[in-house]
């Protein structure tokens, strides 16, 4: 199976490459090799390479900066996604679009179903929702959207790698305790995407690891597991704080738990608890680093 991967240099793109299944011929392209905002360039590249599957792991993910860079966020997350979906349609390739929990407002108190009402709080979520709508409208017969949340990996800057650095540098930390979701290891999401390439479901799906945590809970677990595996040399105080005590340009949903039941059934997946996944990621990070 020939697969074209847009966003190959991001943390998810790199995880997809690291767990590449046998029998996959992968063409991984970063933004320098394929600017998905350029519809003509996308159409030409896809037409020439003739992939059977096209995965879009490219995204504008600077949540706060998006508030002042709306045009850039929509160009990548909305129009860029549409360009890829239309190119996939023209060649008959299966198309996978990665989206986010930020399409919801977080006011719900039970896990969000794929069919629940969307209501993004900021530009980033709005741009990703617009991307979902455009790709499903352009190519409904061959497109799957998979929403995820709280993604981290050994690669790049994310909550886990940032916490490890700050815990080594600082004497104490304050971490938001009133935002709740599910941490998701990029490796598990990548393996789920490869499974989707085999099964080829269409429509909207949710995927995260299992369980629930606040950012504070997540930080406490990172410190505990980091100490246990030798990535951290000392324990520091971590204090729970409220969102109002840590203002940011973009509003975040206070509740981001996604219902994955349909995804597990469609793909015959055995879910992994986020704490187990974190332990595995830190072991991987200690052995291999971010290389």
Is the pLDDT at 291 greater than 60, yes or no?
no
Q: What value does the mean pLDDT take over residues 112-141?
A: 98
Which alpha helices (DSSP H) does the chain contain, by range?
11-18, 39-49, 70-74, 81-91, 123-138, 159-169, 186-199, 215-228, 261-267, 274-288
Find the mean pLDDT for residues 124-133: 98
DSSP run (H or E) holding 82: helix 81-91
How large is the average pLDDT for residues 194-221? 98
Q: Is the Cβ–Cβ distance between 144 and 96 less than 8 Å?
A: yes
**Residue 139 catalytic?**
no
Strand order in the sheet with 143-148: 25-29, 2-6, 53-56, 94-100, 143-148, 203-206
In the chain, % of residues over pLDDT 90: 95
Q: What would the mean pLDDT of 71-99 be, rounded to a whole number?
A: 98
**Could you tell me the pLDDT band of residue 290, with boundaries at 50, 70 and 90?**
low
| pLDDT tens column, 209-267 | 999 999 999 999 999 999 999 999 999 999 999 999 888 999 999 999 999 999 999 99
Residue 267 has a pLDDT of 96
Active-site hit among 94, 124, 205, 255: 124
| Model confidence, pTM | 0.95
Q: Is the CATH code 3.90.580.10 the one for domain 2-152+185-209+256-271?
A: no
pLDDT at 269 over 80: yes
């Amino acid at each position: 199976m020939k697969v074209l991967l847009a966003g190959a240099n991001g943390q998810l793109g790199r995880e997809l490459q690291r767990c590449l299944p046998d029998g996959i011929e992968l063409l991984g392209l970063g933004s320098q090799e394929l600017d998905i905002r350029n519809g003509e360039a996308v159409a030409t590249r896809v037409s020439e390479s003739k992939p059977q599957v096209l995965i879009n792991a490219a995204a504008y993910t600077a949540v706060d900066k998006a508030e002042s860079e709306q045009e850039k966020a929509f160009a990548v997350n909305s129009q860029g996604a549409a360009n890829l979906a239309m190119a996939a349609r023209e060649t008959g390739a299966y198309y996978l679009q990665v989206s986010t929990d930020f399409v919801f407002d977080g006011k719900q108190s039970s896990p969000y179903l794929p069919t629940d009402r969307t209501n993004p709080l900021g530009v980033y979520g709005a741009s990703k929702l617009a991307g979902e709508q455009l790709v499903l409208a352009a190519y409904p017969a061959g497109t799957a959207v998979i929403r995820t949340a709280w993604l981290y990996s050994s690669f790049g800057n994310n909550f886990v790698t940032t916490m490890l650095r700050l815990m080594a540098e600082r004497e104490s930390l304050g971490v938001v305790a009133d935002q709740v979701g599910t941490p998701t290891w990029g490796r598990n999401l990548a393996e789920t995407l490869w499974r989707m390439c085999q099964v080829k479901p269409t429509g909207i799906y949710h995927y995260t690891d299992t369980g629930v945590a606040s950012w504070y809970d997540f930080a406490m677990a990172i410190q505990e597991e980091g100490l246990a595996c030798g990535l951290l040399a000392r324990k520091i105080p971590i204090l729970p704080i409220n969102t109002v005590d840590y203002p940011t340009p973009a509003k975040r949903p206070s509740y981001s738990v996604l219902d994955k039941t349909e995804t597990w059934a469609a793909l015959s997946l055995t879910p992994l608890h986020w704490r187990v996944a974190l332990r595995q990621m830190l072991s991987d990070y200690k052995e291999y680093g971010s290389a």
